[in-house]
Structure 1
Amino acid sequence: MSEAEISATFNRFKQELQDLATKAGELELDIEEHKLVIETMEPLEPSRTCFRLINGILVERSVKEVLPALKANKDGITKVIAMLMEQYKKKEIDFQEFQKKHNIRDGKMTIPAK
């Protein structure tokens, strides 16, 4: 690989890792929002009316209809976060191997002494 290709690959690895971390962080915020809404709704009467935003449309539902859906969404988001973190770990290992193979330390290539 040329030095330019190594540099481009290095930057691509860094960007991919950053993207995975950012997405996981966004989903963590979604989980916290779901937890807050679930905690607020759990003590309410199951027949109580509530509103839910679905694809940009506000629909009227009951607590007993919305609460299970919120819990299922939260569980799904948790699984996606776990998958993203698994991808992150694998990508991080690949990145470390790439850095080792090309003698990259602190983002700079080191040329071995002759």
Structure 2
Amino acid sequence: MASQPQINPKRQQELQLQYTNYKNTLQQMAQKIGDIEQEAEEHKLVIETLEPLPQDRKCFRMVNGVLVERTVQDVLPTLKTNSDGLKQVLEELLKQYKSKQTELDNWKKKNNIQVVQP
């Protein structure tokens, strides 16, 4: 009966540390993606609410923790720009996440790593 060759404890510890680093990085990226998705959804909701309103209607916007009075005409273009920026950042983060996931998969194959779930 053939058994797996034993890896020395130091090498095993290094591999475990690398695996943990990969998983932590992926988890942080997923958290950031979730935060940005939520913020983009909030922007979309506000834009959909403001678009049918008259352009000269006053509205309030939070800028650096300060509530400022503006008109729909002033706020809407800024919101759309911010929303577009969030979408671009989200796309870039998703690409980075997929790249990192592929890197982890390749690393697991290269080092013959098999994850055992408790």
TM-score by length of 1: 0.90
Q: Deviations over 1:73-98 (max 9, x none)?
A: 11000000001011101111110111
Q: Give the C-alpha shift of residue 8 in structure 1.
A: 0.4
Q: Name 1:112's counterpart in structure 2.
A: none
Q: Name 2:38's counterpart in structure 1.
A: 29
Identity across the alignment (%): 45
The number of equivalent residue pairs is 108
Q: Name 1:15's counterpart in structure 2.
A: 24
Moved over 6 A (4+): none
- 5+ unaligned residues in a row in structure 1: which ranges? 109-114
Task: Give the SS at the match of 1:105.
Answer: coil
Task: Give the SS at the match of 2:68.
Answer: strand
Q: Name 1:111's counterpart in structure 2.
A: none
Instruction: Give, as a single letter, the amino acid of the residue that structure 2 aligns with 1:50.
Output: C
Q: Give the C-alpha shift of residue 31 in structure 1.
A: 1.1
Which of 39, 47, 50 in structure 1 is aligned with 2:56?
A: 47
Q: Give the C-alpha shift of residue 17 in structure 1.
A: 0.7
- 5+ unaligned residues in a row in structure 2: which ranges? 1-9
Q: Give the C-alpha shift of residue 107 in structure 1.
A: 4.7
Compute the RMSD of aligned alpha carbons.
1.3
